[in-house]
Structure 1
Amino acid sequence: MTSTPLRLMQLFTALSAALLTACALLYAVDPPAVNGVVWIRAAGILALSFLSLRWAAQLRRGHRGAYRRLLWVSIAGSLGIAALALLPDSPFPLWFRLEQSAQGLVLLALATTLLRPSLRATLEPTR
């Protein structure tokens, strides 16, 4: 099994941790710049990234369930981040939306990787 999904999720997790760290640092300097919605989303994304990292490790061992969960997260996450970045009345500041766009690109790369027939052929058969 290829290690590309695992590496992409490691990158996604690192970006998620950096996002939460940036929120904390910015809050220390300028508290109004980091509203409650930003904190909740940043913490939620980090939590999801840890789950997804676990699923990517399971996928590396050929688990079909992990494949389905990662595919769902990569597609829904890409669409959700695109909506977040493009909404004109978004409650998120520009710096946050730019970072989220980078994470959306990682999820898009993950979806592209997961949809390769060669990767799907390596999964355990459905019971």
Structure 2
Amino acid sequence: MTTTRTETPGFRPVLLLTGGYATLSVLTLLVIVLFRDNHTMVTDAVWVRATIVVASSLLTFAFARSAARGSRKGLLRLRIVSAVMLVAIAVIVVLPGLFPLWLRIEQAGCGLLLLGVTLLVNSRRLRAR
């Protein structure tokens, strides 16, 4: 007898948003690698930030998958990580001069994806499931 782990109803949008966040983050890191010799576009701070964002986005997606399979710990981790990263991204977007404009725009896109995740995973309807 085999047991199939199914997706909790209502988690598809969360998986799509976290998948989009991870995809955008990985693509951004690839762009950084391609433009690594342009020191006005790719600074040391950009390398550090992009690496952290890729790692957190992959963890966020893993937590979303875990939560979609019914894990309470996965949901708790997803709620915490999405909120913390949303705040960190908001700070990066509004502080001038810390990062190049192109990265702040990319981070705004990541922030919008995480805003959707944060709103969904903290909704009563989704937590009840």
TM score, norm. by length of structure 2: 0.87
Aligned-residue sequence identity (percent) comes to 33
Unaligned runs of 5+ in 1: 123-127
The yes-or-no answer on 1:21 pairing with 2:9 is: no
Alignment of 1:35-74 (within 5 A): 35-74=43-82
The yes-or-no answer on 1:111 pairing with 2:118 is: yes
The yes-or-no answer on 1:121 pairing with 2:121 is: no
Output one character per residue of 1:58-95: Cα deviation in whole Å (capped at 9) or x when no partner.
Answer: 111111111111111111111111111111342x1000
TM score, norm. by length of structure 1: 0.88
Q: Which residue number corresponds to residue 4 of structure 1? A: 13
What is the one-letter code of the residue matched to 1:120?
A: R
Q: Which runs of 4+ in 1 moved over 3 A?
A: none
Work out which of the residue numbers 83, 87, 90 in structure 1 matches 2:91.
83
What is the one-letter code of the residue matched to 2:120?
A: T
CA RMSD of aligned residues (A): 1.3
Question: What secondary structure sits across from 1:27 in the alignment?
Answer: coil
Mapped contact 2:60–2:82 kept (Cα < 8 A): no
Q: Which residue number corresponds to residue 3 of structure 2? A: none
More helix by share: 1
What is the one-letter code of the residue matched to 1:22?
A: V
Shift of 1:50: 1.3
| Cα distance between partner residues in 1 of 2:60 and 2:87 | 17
Unaligned runs of 5+ in 2: 1-7
